[in-house]
Amino acid sequence: MKIWTIANQKGGVGKTTTVASLAGAFVKRGQRVLMVDTDPHASLGYYLGIDCEQLPCSLYDLFLGHKSLTVDTVKTHIVPTNVQGLDLMPSTMALATLDRSLGHEEGMGLILKKALKLIEGEYDVVLIDCPPVLGVLMVNALAASEHIIVPVQTEFLAIKGLDRMVKTMLLMGRSKKINYSYTIVPTMYDKRTRAASAALKQLNEDYNEELWQEVIPVDTKFRDASLSHLPASHYAPSSRGVKAYNRLLDDLLAKDLCHVKIS
Ligand SMILES: Nc1ncnc2c1ncn2[C@@H]1O[C@H](COP(=O)(O)OP(=O)(O)O)[C@@H](O)[C@H]1O
Ligand SMILES: [Mg+2]
């Protein structure tokens, strides 16, 4: 079971869109996919038309009951989506209180990893969406993952401080047994603007192997897809944006994901 986290400390850079788009692309390739939403805003659930506050269980309950996790209890925290083969472990607003209530307990950073280990046989791929905050939720996501995808909006302000942020993020979630690799994915690229090409040039200068050598273009179909509560792969399969995410997936799968390591 592959576990990838999609993270960036900035909001609005395309994290949730990347999770939904890669998840849809994996499903189209016949894979069983679980998305885990660790963002208290629960955007991923709303994106897929699921009102997470109305569900009986969420990731928050899984954290509260972490001392007695079994395969069955983990499964009760998962709901199907309107796309066959695509499930969601939903978030709720209550998750925002987790840092305060449980953040200092011993072993809190490894709960998600343990929970996912229990359901290893059920899915081929797990994609974890993150809040734009460095906290216990992101630590859990990073500690559970073998690869991190960092969507970065191709805009000057979005790439400022990226290097330090990525290093801090990876170190925070690091556990001794895991070798992280990460891929920076330029998003919302508008080739008509000078700002976008300048940002891309800067990313190329600052990063080497970690930078995906293509871009996710600005594509209004992503917004339309979220309005229709479908991954773009299912809403507009032949759109430019979906094709770009498919190429990203090809490249991620072809890459030796343990090659680039943070020491
Ligand atoms: N490539 C893209 N082109 C156009 N709009 C996009 C693109 N990627 C994301 N968006 C839109 O930008 C907004 C923020 O994206 P989102 O994925 O929610 O970011 P994050 O999860 O990082 O906060 C959403 O309205 C989304 O539909
Ligand atoms: Mg989001």
Identify the CATH number of the domain in which residue 14 sits. 3.40.50.300
Ligand 1 neighbourhood includes 239 CB (under 6 angstroms): no
Q: Which two tokens stand for residue 36?
A: 């885990």
Nearest CA to ligand 1 atom 24: 223
Query: Domain range spanning residue 153?
Result: 2-259
Cross-strand bridge partners of residue 86: 33
Which ligand 1 atom is the nearest neighbour of the CA of 8?
22
Counted domains in the chain:
1
- In angstroms, the CA 34 to CA 127 distance is 6
Nearest CA to ligand 1 atom 9: 14
For residue 261, what pLDDT is reported? 41
Amino acid identity for residue 37 in this structure: D
- In angstroms, the CA 8 to CA 30 distance is 28
Query: Cβ(136)–Cβ(98) under 8 Å?
Result: yes
For residue 52, what pLDDT is reported? 84
Which ligand 1 atom is the nearest neighbour of the CA of 219?
3
For residue 256, what pLDDT is reported? 60
Nearest CA to ligand 1 atom 27: 223
Query: Cβ(2)–Cβ(35) under 8 Å?
Result: no
For residue 257, what pLDDT is reported? 56
Across 60-158, where does the E strand assignment appear?
Answer: 79-80, 86-89, 125-129, 147-153
Ligand 1 neighbourhood includes 9 CB (under 6 angstroms): no
Q: How far apart, in Å, are the Cα atoms of 247 and each of 185, 214, 253?
A: 12, 9, 10
CA of 226 relative to ligand 1 center, distance in Å: 9
For residue 56, what pLDDT is reported? 84
Residue among 8, 15, 35, 223 to mutate when testing ligand 1 (max atoms within 8 A of CB): 223
Give me the helix-helix angle, 111-118 and 136-144, nearest 10°. 40
Which ligand 1 atom is the nearest neighbour of the CA of 39?
21
What pLDDT digit, counting tens, does each position of 156-208 carry?
A: 888 888 888 888 877 877 765 666 789 999 999 999 999 999 999 999 999 87
- Of the candidates 89, 39, 100, 16, the residue with the CA atom closest to the CA atom of residue 59: 89
Residues of the chain with pLDDT under 70: 103, 175-179, 256-263
Which ligand 1 atom is the nearest neighbour of the CA of 18?
17
CA of 19 relative to ligand 2 center, distance in Å: 9
For residue 179, what pLDDT is reported? 67
End-to-end, the C-alpha distance of the chain in Å comes to: 24
What pLDDT digit, counting tens, does each position of 108-123 carry?
A: 889 999 999 999 999 9
